[in-house]
Structure 1
Amino acid sequence: MSAVAWIATGSLAAWLWLLLGQGFFWRTDVRLPPRRDPAHWPPVCVVVPARDEADVLPLSLPSLLAQDYPGRAEVFLVDDGSSDGTGELARALAERHGGLPLTVCSPGEPPPGWTGKLWAVRRGIGLARAREPEYLLLTDADIAHEPDSLRQLVAAADAGNFDLVSLMARLRVESGWERLVVPAFVYFFAQLYPFRRIGRKGSRTAAAAGGCVLLRTDAAERARIPDAIRQAVIDDVALARAVRRSGGRIWLGLAERVDSVRPYPRLGDLWRMVSRSAYAQLRHNPLLLIGTVGGLALVYLAPPVTLFAGLAAGSAVTAAAGGLAWLVMTATYLPMLRYYRQPLWLAPLLPGTAFLYLLMTVDSAVQHYRGRGAAWKGRTYARPDTAAAEPAPEQR
């Protein structure tokens, strides 16, 4: 067998393992677990960190204020140094729409060793604790909730005795680039963190989706959230790991009634969204970067390349292995396209989308070494080094 045939065979073997041995990551039926209304609806505080979110806040904040939660609930929006009037707009929206009580506050600039979002979350949780909530809902400013969202989250956490219940919000898919890139983003995330494994007792896989995280207050205290993860750029995964390390039970699934309203109409918007944290996902390790690029090439790029190379060279083995690998890849992507209500003809294009993600990952590393890594809304976060060992402000 030629080298190309071996590559095609290796790619096919990888896809057969992914199909059967990676927690059935490709299935999209992991939704909120069975739930029942609790005998007593516990108090909940909703914490919303927001920085320059005036464009999306009119679509998201009213949905939180309109929650039909039977128990006591209120919303804390933490204005993280916005320059577009986010805080003032939030107050105006609350006056216009009514609903749950809203408190708007500002934490000031984050000290060294903190990301802005987690510093804002810390301030929001600090204010919320004075209300003695049993649960905290951490949700982003671009996330819209159906009126029964909070009720369903709390019921699921109570029925399953979960310390953390998180939903991967359905991202916006309207522009051509969003259709090509966004479903693949969730597909790749599920491949890294199979949802079925996350909710399993004794599992070591831990992840959450930062846009919608319901967290028991006592679990947050045990895990020292957010202080224990104050430098995390990928804060949702870090939060889930901290909760699991402290003995908490976690669950993650796909949302049906929670949606992101943030648009990513151009490729550049999606590129920045992915590249700002891709190298952080690899722990800023160049060896992991090389391995990831090689893995993406073998798993996603090799199938179509070896198929056409085999056809051109008249190698039935190479063409068959490459074609079968591409077929399995396409089949595993179909459920995600159905979930996003997208045309199924996009499935065979997944290798092209994977190539874009490969370039985004490499660009993330390049920007990191240029000192512009993890840039978001005017802030740039360097690699966590000595600052990670610094004590939190109240511990100094």
Structure 2
Amino acid sequence: MTALAWTAAASLAAWCWLLLFQGFFWRTDQRLPPRPEGVAEPDGWPDVAVVVPARDEAEVLALSLPSLLAQDYPGRAEVVLVDDGSSDGTAALARRLGERCGGLALTVVSPGEPEPGWTGKLWALRHGMAVAGAGDPEFWLLTDADIAHEPDSLRRLVEAALGPGAGPAGPGGAASDPGGGFDLVSQMARLRVEGRWERLVVPAFVYFFAQLYPFRRVNRASGRTAAAAGGCVLLRAATARDAGVPAAIRQAVIDDVSLARAVRDRGGRIWLGLADRVRSVRPYPGLGGLWDMVARSAYAQLRHSPVLLAGTVAGLLLVYLVPPVALVAGCCTGDTAAAAAGGLAWAVMSGTYAPMLRYYGLPVAGAPLLPFTAVLYLLMTVDSAVRHHRGRGAAWKGRTYARPEAAPGGR
């Protein structure tokens, strides 16, 4: 066998391992199920405070905030929107929407610039939780300003957290954990896939996240993997106090994973899944916005380590780029072993990506394009490291965190 054939065989072996032993990350059935027939609603609905950090979100707020105010929740709930130093009239727009839409009570507050050692989002959450904490809620719903919720979103999240009978969905839609009862319930909001670049990049973003943090492993009661999706997190207030959040994670750029780790480290149960009725309304019409979304935190995920960066680049090349290269080169040079191994690896890769494309309602015929998308992510990751070493770090809406704290290990 040639060196190319051995390299293609290594890539195929890696894909076989990912297919069978990486928590079945490629499946998309980890979702909140409807309440089973015959299971009654909770006897009492706990108080919930919804905290929305918002910085320069006037473009999307009219599409997201009314959906929170219109929540059909049987218990007591309120919304606190924290205007994090916006310059586009976010706070004034939020107040107008509150007056116009009615529904849940809305409070709009502004905490001022964050103190040293805090990221802007976590500083805003700290202030919002302090304001809403006067009502002593049993749960916090932490949700981003670009996230729209269907009217029953809060009800279903609380049902899942309370249990019983509201565990995460397994194959065929059955509850895989009928006992329910979680300290943190998080849903990966369905992102927009309307533009050409969104369709190419967004499903891969969720796919890579699930590969890094397989949802099934996150959802095991005895598991060590911890992750959450920051756009939609229902958090038990007592657990938040016990874990000392948000102060305990105040420097974290990847705050959702850091939050989940803090909860798990204190013995809390967490659940993470894909959303059906929670969606992002933020548009990414061009590649630039998507590039910045990934590049601002990719190097933080690697703990700002050049060694981890080099390993990541080598791994991405081996796993994603070698299969198509081996197939084409093998066919051109008559190296049948390389072509066969590369073709099989590419087929397995495409097969694992197809469920995510179906989840987003996109043609599975686009699955073979994943190597191209992976190269884009590789370049975004390298750019993230370059930005960090140039002192620009994790930049977001006018703020730069030159040397932010990385998210803790997820395993």
Given that 1:34 and 1:156 are in contact with CA atoms closer than 8 Å, whether structure 2 keeps it comes out as: no
Offset at 1:190?
Answer: 0.2
Task: Answer yes or no: is 1:242 the counterpart of 2:259.
Answer: no
Q: Secondary structure at the match of 1:130?
A: helix
Letter in 1 for 2:87: S
Residue aligned with 1:232, SS: coil
Match of 1:230 among 250, 253, 262: 250
2:22 paired residue number: 22
Q: State the Cα distance separating 1:344 from its structure 2 match.
A: 1.4
Cα deviation, 1:19-70, whole Å, max 9, x if unaligned, reads 0000000000100156552110000000000000000000000000000100
The corresponding residue for 1:150 is: 154
Detail structure 1 runs of 4+ shifted over 6 Å in the superposition.
Answer: none
Cα displacement string for residues 171-193 of structure 1 (whole angstroms, at most 9, x for unaligned residues): 01100000000000000000000
Match of 2:299 among 270, 279, 286: 279
> Do the aligned residues in 2 keep the contact of 1:307 with 1:321 (CA within 8 Å)?
yes
| Residues 254, 297 of structure 2: 8 Å contact kept | yes
Q: Which residue of 1 aligns with 2:177?
A: none
1:56-105 per-residue CA deviation (whole Å, 9 max, x = no partner) reads: 00000000000010000000000000000100100000101100000000
Quote the Cα distance in structure 2 between the aligned partners of 1:34 and 1:381.
41
Query: Whole-Å Cα distance in 1 between the matches of residues 400 and 88 of structure 2?
Result: 19
SS at structure 2 position matched to 1:30: coil
Match of 1:53 in 2: 57
Counterpart of 2:363? 343
Q: Distance in 2 between matches of 1:128 and 1:297?
A: 48
Does the Cα contact within 8 Å between 2:316 and 2:378 map onto a contact in 1?
Answer: yes
Q: State the Cα deviation string for residues 235-271 of structure 1 (Å, max 9, x = none).
A: 0000000000011000000000000000001001100
Is 1:358 aligned to residue 362 of structure 2? no
Question: What TM-score results when the alignment is normalised by the length of structure 2?
Answer: 0.93
- Give the partner amino acid of 1:2: T
Residue-by-residue CA offset, 1:138-164 (whole Å, 9 max, x unaligned): 000000000000000000110011000
Residue in structure 2 matched with residue 31 of structure 1 by the alignment: 31
Structure 1 position 373, deviation (Å)? 1.5
SS at match of 2:46: coil
Give the whole-Å Cα distance in 2 for the aligned partners of 1:14 and 1:34: 36
- Residue 101 of structure 2 aligns to which amino acid in structure 1? H
Aligned-pair distance for 1:134?
Answer: 0.5
Q: Does 1:176 align with 2:180?
A: no
- Amino acid of the residue matched to residue 327 of structure 1? A
Q: Does 1:300 align with 2:308?
A: no
Alignment of 1:189-338 (within 5 A): 189-338=209-358
Match of 2:77 among 73, 96, 110: 73
Deviation at 1:384, TM superposition (A): 3.7
- Tell me whether 1:98 sits opposite 2:102 in the alignment: yes
Counterpart residue number, 2:175: none
Shift of the alpha carbon at 1:229? Answer: 0.4
Counterparts of 2:272 and 2:294 in 1: how far apart (Å)?
21
Q: Secondary structure at the match of 1:55?
A: helix
Task: Write the distance in 2 (CA, Å) between the matches of 1:129 and 1:93.
Answer: 23
* Cα offsets for 1:306-365 (capped at 9, x unmatched): 111111121111110000000000000000000000111210000000000000000000
Of 110, 121, 125, the match for 2:125: 121
CA–CA separation in structure 1 for the residues paired with 2:351 and 2:312: 23
TM-score (normalised: structure 1):
0.96
1:4 is the counterpart of 2:4 = yes
Task: Give the Cα–Cα distance (whole angstroms) in 2 for the partners of residues 82 and 384 of structure 1.
Answer: 22
Q: How big is the shift at 1:201?
A: 1.3
Aligned-partner Cα distance in 1 for 2:254–2:219: 20
Q: In structure 1, how many angstroms separate the alpha carbons of the residues matched to 2:25 and 2:12?
A: 17
The answer to whether the 8 A contact 2:253-2:404 is kept is no
Q: CA RMSD in A?
A: 1.1
- The Cα shift of 1:376 comes to 0.3
> Matched residues in 2 for 1:21 and 1:247: separation?
25
1:306 and 1:343 mapped to 2: Cα distance? 25
* Residue type of the alignment partner of 2:122: L
Q: What is the count of residue pairs matched by the alignment? A: 386
**Which runs of 5 or more structure 2 residues have no equivalent in the other structure?**
164-179
Q: d(CA) in 1 for partners of 2:66 and 2:383?
A: 37
